[in-house]
Amino acid sequence: MPSVEVEVQVGGAGGWRPKQQQKHRHHHHPLEIRQVWADNVDREFKLIRAAIERFPYVSMDTEFPGVIHHPPPAVHHSTLTAPQRYALLKSNVDALHLIQVGLALAPSPGSPPALAFQINLRGFDPRVHRHAPDSVRLLAASGLDLAAHRARGVPARAFAALLASSGLICNPAVAWVTFSSAYDFAYLVKLLMGRKLPRALPDFLRYVRVYFGAAVYDVKHMARVACASHGEVALLGGLERVAAALRVRRAAGQGHQAASDSVLTWDTFREMARIYFPKEGSLEPCAGVLYGLELPN
């Protein structure tokens, strides 16, 4: 039996309008993750440009070399205000290099991803660039070949130019889904701007809105809303834990790789939307809110 799935369309003011539709929730074919390197990046972005009209729902994840700036030892991260968190994020993102970007594209909010791309970037060299050693060891243990990134990776400026002309950004028809996405969007905004991040949080959020539009959904923020309204404590935690609580399995690749995590983020989003946000308009309050950087309206 097909399960009842919630299809949501991009509505006015950046909201999604759910409508009930019969959909199969699970992947029928194994999803291929398309590896993008310097030698095929132009061809893969041609494919993205051709696909975005049919697949305007984009899930995104990034990999980067951890964080090197932390709050003072006596200060717990949870006690920081949104502007203080942004200042910390800015100090890290301005100092560090993006390593990998994952994109998963779907035709509708109730469908599994149809395409997944893993863009492998060139800029980071652990021998000369600052990084958190534990984070870089974890990425290497998860299958990232940092020597291959240095030799064959896409230059950041070339990626930024292709992203700017891809139809993915500055396109009101495209909706974005992420998980705990403040750092993900910060690295992409820095790349697209070609300079360090804006000094103030409201300016950064304006850039996110300009580049990525109003239909931006952070699954970690959605989980907190679902926890507050339904008492679902199991939904608090990282992506793997939230996915497990919703019985969502990883459909392709392995954890701590950007494309695999973007696919898992998408499948977690659609299951959470189906269960906890089934009513028309119920997702709209979540639009445009990045977890940890919430500003009061």
Domain boundaries, the chain: 3-286
Query: pTM of the entire structure?
Result: 0.89
> Per CATH, is 3-286 categorized as 3.30.420.10?
yes
pLDDT digits (tens, 9 = 90+) for 244-281: 999 999 999 899 899 999 999 999 999 999 999 999 88
Phi, psi of 210 (to 5 degrees): -65, -50
Query: Residue 100 burial by CB count (10 A; 0-12/13-18/19+): exposed, middle or buried?
Result: buried
Share of the chain above pLDDT 90, in %: 82
| pLDDT confidence of residue 10 | 38
Beta-carbon count within 10 A of 61 CB: 28
Residue written as tokens 């360090």? 196
Of residues 296 and 288, the one with the higher pLDDT is: 288
Among residues 254, 216, 210, the alpha carbon closest in space to that of 60 is found at 216
Mean pLDDT over residues 222-229, rounded?
Answer: 93
Averaged pLDDT score across all residues of the chain? 90
Rounded (10°) CA dihedral 250, 255, 259, 261: 70
Among residues 99, 93, 112, 61, the alpha carbon closest in space to that of 254 is found at 61
